[in-house]
């Protein structure tokens, strides 16, 4: 059916205009005024008076239905993407975990089975590389060209589990350059962290705060700098995920200043929460265990500035939810066994609007760029996703900037028993959300269909950035 979104203010990464949007067959076909004149006679008119009309959020960093830390994330592709839709996110790129000794293609099939028939928004996959050998290297070009999976994550941390050495990182960077992929890196020095963890546990330091104390920011800065240098040497391209600290921002900025293809992502938790949360009593600190960890408060303004001035370009959620009861509790006697990660997929969009735009740290257009457009460009799905333009998918958020509300586990839609932003007041709310022209959320209620999300075959790196 055709629809016109009328009387709103359309915001893209480039422009802010009072205009109406015509949607036909799931695609934006016109932006302007008096669109009724060119619309089919049975067009449905949706009033967006007083609202912003944003492109649906693109979350480039989610872990749904993922085995990790001896358990499996609490949100799967159904609960996770419904929560995302409520929050204004209409596209995710999720991390497909590969298994040592198995062909990459079998892990990709596993991920298709997890997402297919469940996801309510469109989704792509990154590959999380767990080992590199000649067989894996031989498979990668096909995966880029045939499967449409055009980004790979390499871990410089999680020793003995996922950690790759510098040689592997370098070979992946070379392969990515040759075949058109973007290398994503988790930049922390895993060898030194492993030593610090052993020393802390040997001295009887088992509480959650030790998670942060054994992963100091200097080790994130060091690994980020190393990854930037290796990228420069390979003349390749690098996207540093979940950047938390000044040390890492400086390395990314330096690499960019030298003209290298380096980008950086941060997450709402690093912009808004700090290390003191890990010291909450009764093991509550475990709710705030991410890797890299939350930092001292001073780093937050550095991250906001970096988003504003373009040293960092995107905000991912790093959605990786574990219940406090039964899952985070796995680390009750040993902080190193607390499953890392938290539930953010739903609140990423509104937190960035409220703390970014409302608090005058980001312009409206910059907000759209960091929440949607830039990730779509970097990950090969622009202009299908990430903007409102003629020919783009009609993934649209009708957002009321006048609503005041409080984030809480009592009202969120994620399948998890706490919210790390509990009690935080935000301004603005996605009222209605459309995916390819169909309502997922209408007047704050989910009206979508399980399994309506489609897999996105992404373009090779370099096609739209």
Q: Say whether residue 142 binds Zn ion (CB under 5 A).
A: no
Only one of the segments 98-106, 174-182, 227-235, 246-254 lies at the binding site for Zn ion (rule: CB under 5 A); that segment is 227-235
Q: Say whether residue 237 binds ligand URP (CB under 6 A).
A: no
Distance CA 150, CA 380 (A): 8
Tell me the angle at which helices 246-257 and 298-309 cross, rounded to the nearest 10 degrees: 20
Asked if 28 and 390 count as a contact pair (C-beta separation under 8 A), the reply is yes
Asked if 85 and 439 count as a contact pair (C-beta separation under 8 A), the reply is no
CB of 57 to Zn ion, least distance (A): 17
C-alpha distances in Å from residue 395, one per residue of 11, 328, 450 = 13, 35, 17
Cis amide prior to 292 (ω within 30 degrees): yes
Asked if 456 and 435 count as a contact pair (C-beta separation under 8 A), the reply is no
| Residue 235 contacts which entry, Zn ion, ligand URP, none (Cβ below 5-8 A, type-dependent) | none
- Please give the full DSSP string across 141-192, using - where no structure is assigned: HHIIIII---EEEEES-STTTTB--HHHHHHHHHHHHHHT-EEEEE-S-HHH
Asked if 380 and 28 count as a contact pair (C-beta separation under 8 A), the reply is no
CB of 153 to ligand URP, least distance (A): 8
- Considering beta carbons, is residue 216 or 341 the nearer one to ligand URP? 341
| Residue 232 contacts which entry, Zn ion, ligand URP, none (Cβ below 5-8 A, type-dependent) | Zn ion
CB of 55 to ligand URP, least distance (A): 25
CB of 385 to ligand URP, least distance (A): 22
- Considering beta carbons, is residue 222 or 318 the nearer one to ligand URP? 318
Asked if 346 and 444 count as a contact pair (C-beta separation under 8 A), the reply is no
> Site mask, Zn ion, residues 230-259, x = CB under 5 A?
--x-------------------------x-
| Residue 369 contacts which entry, Zn ion, ligand URP, none (Cβ below 5-8 A, type-dependent) | none
Using CB under 6 A, count the residues that bind ligand URP: 9
Distance CA 67, CA 327 (A): 12
- Considering beta carbons, is residue 177 or 186 the nearer one to ligand URP? 186
| Residue 290 contacts which entry, Zn ion, ligand URP, none (Cβ below 5-8 A, type-dependent) | ligand URP
Give every CB contact of residue 124 below 8 A, 6+ residues apart in sequence: 91, 92, 93, 94, 148, 149, 379, 381, 455, 456, 457, 458
Candidates 312, 210, 224, 202; CA nearest to 267 is: 312
C-alpha distances in Å from residue 73, one per residue of 60, 107, 166, 410, 412 = 17, 17, 29, 20, 17
CB of 257 to Zn ion, least distance (A): 9
> Site mask, ligand URP, residues 39-68, x = CB under 6 A?
------------------------x-----
Using CB under 5 A, count the residues that bind Zn ion: 4
CB of 340 to ligand URP, least distance (A): 3
> Site mask, ligand URP, residues 274-293, x = CB under 6 A?
----------------xx--
Q: Say whether residue 242 binds ligand URP (CB under 6 A).
A: yes
- Residue 370 neighbours by CB distance under 10 Å: 24
**Binds ligand URP (CB under 6 A): choice among 6, 186, 260, 287:** 186
CB of 302 to ligand URP, least distance (A): 19
CB of 320 to ligand URP, least distance (A): 4
Q: Say whether residue 186 binds Zn ion (CB under 5 A).
A: yes
CB of 77 to ligand URP, least distance (A): 16
Give residue number: closest CB to ligand URP: 340
CB of 170 to ligand URP, least distance (A): 21
Distance CA 230, CA 237 (A): 10
Q: Say whether residue 458 binds ligand URP (CB under 6 A).
A: no
Long-range contacts of 282-287 (CB under 8 A, 24+ apart): 283/207, 283/208, 283/328, 283/329, 283/332, 284/324, 285/207, 285/208, 285/209, 286/208, 286/324, 286/328, 286/329, 286/331, 286/332, 286/335, 286/338, 287/324, 287/328, 287/342, 287/418, 287/420
Distance CA 158, CA 242 (A): 15
- Strand 237-240 and strand 27-32: the pairing is unpaired
- Considering beta carbons, is residue 323 or 432 the nearer one to ligand URP? 323
Q: Say whether residue 436 binds Zn ion (CB under 5 A).
A: no
> Site mask, ligand URP, residues 312-341, x = CB under 6 A?
------x-x-------------------xx
| Residue 412 contacts which entry, ligand URP, Zn ion, none (Cβ below 5-8 A, type-dependent) | none
Could you list the residues that contact ligand URP (CB under 6 A)?
Answer: 63, 186, 242, 290-291, 318, 320, 340-341
Residues that bind Zn ion (CB under 5 A): 186, 232, 258, 318
């Amino acid at each position: 059916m055709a629809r016109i979104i009328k009387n709103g203010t359309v915001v893209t990464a480039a422009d802010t205009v009072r205009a109406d949007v015509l949607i036909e067959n799931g695609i934006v076909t016109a932006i302007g005024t008096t669109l009724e004149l060119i619309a089919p006679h049975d067009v449905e008119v949706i009033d967006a008076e007083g609202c912003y009309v944003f492109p649906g959020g693109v979350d480039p960093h989610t872990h749904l239905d993922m085995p990790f830390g001896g358990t499996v994330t609490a949100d799967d592709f159904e609960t996770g993407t419904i929560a995302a839709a409520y929050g204004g996110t209409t596209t995710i790129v999720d991390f497909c975990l590969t298994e040592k000794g198995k062909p990459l293609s079998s892990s990709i099939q596993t991920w298709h089975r997890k997402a297919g028939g469940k996801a309510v928004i469109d989704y792509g996959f990154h590959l999380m590389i767990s080992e590199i050998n000649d067989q894996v290297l031989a498979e990668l070009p096909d995966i880029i060209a045939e499967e449409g999976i055009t980004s790979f994550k390499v871990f410089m941390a999680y020793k003995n589990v996922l950690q790759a050495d510098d040689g592997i990182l370098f070979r992946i960077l070379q392969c990515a350059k040759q075949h058109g992929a973007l290398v994503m890196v988790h930049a922390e020095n895993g060898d030194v962290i492993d030593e610090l963890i052993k020393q802390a546990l040997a001295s009887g330091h088992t509480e959650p705060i030790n998670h942060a104390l054994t992963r100091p920011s200097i080790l994130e800065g060091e690994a980020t700098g190393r990854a930037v240098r290796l990228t420069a040497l390979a003349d390749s391209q690098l996207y540093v995920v979940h950047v938390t600290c000044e040390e890492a921002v400086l390395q990314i900025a330096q690499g960019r200043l030298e003209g290298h293809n380096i980008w950086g992502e941060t997450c709402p938790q690093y912009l808004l929460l700090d290390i003191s949360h890990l010291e909450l009593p009764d093991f509550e600190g475990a709710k705030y265990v991410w890797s890299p960890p939350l930092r001292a408060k001073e780093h937050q303004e550095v991250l906001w500035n970096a988003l504003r001035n373009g040293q960092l370009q995107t905000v991912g959620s790093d959605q990786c939810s574990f219940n406090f009861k039964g899952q985070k509790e796995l680390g009750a006697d040993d902080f190193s066994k607390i499953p890392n990660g938290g539930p953010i997929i739903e609140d990423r969009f509104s937190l960035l609007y409220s703390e970014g735009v409302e608090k005058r740290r980001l312009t409206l257009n910059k907000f759209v760029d960091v929440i949607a457009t830039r990730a779509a460009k970097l990950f090969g799905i622009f202009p299908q996703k990430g903007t409102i333009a003629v020919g783009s998918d009609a993934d649209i958020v009708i957002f009321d900037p006048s609503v005041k509300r409080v984030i809480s586990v009592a009202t969120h839609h994620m399948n998890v028993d706490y919210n790390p932003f509990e009690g935080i007041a935000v301004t603005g709310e996605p009222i209605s959300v459309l995916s390819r022209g169909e309502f997922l959320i209408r007047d704050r209620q989910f009206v979508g269909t399980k399994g309506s999300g489609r897999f996105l075959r992404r373009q090779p790196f370099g096609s739209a950035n």
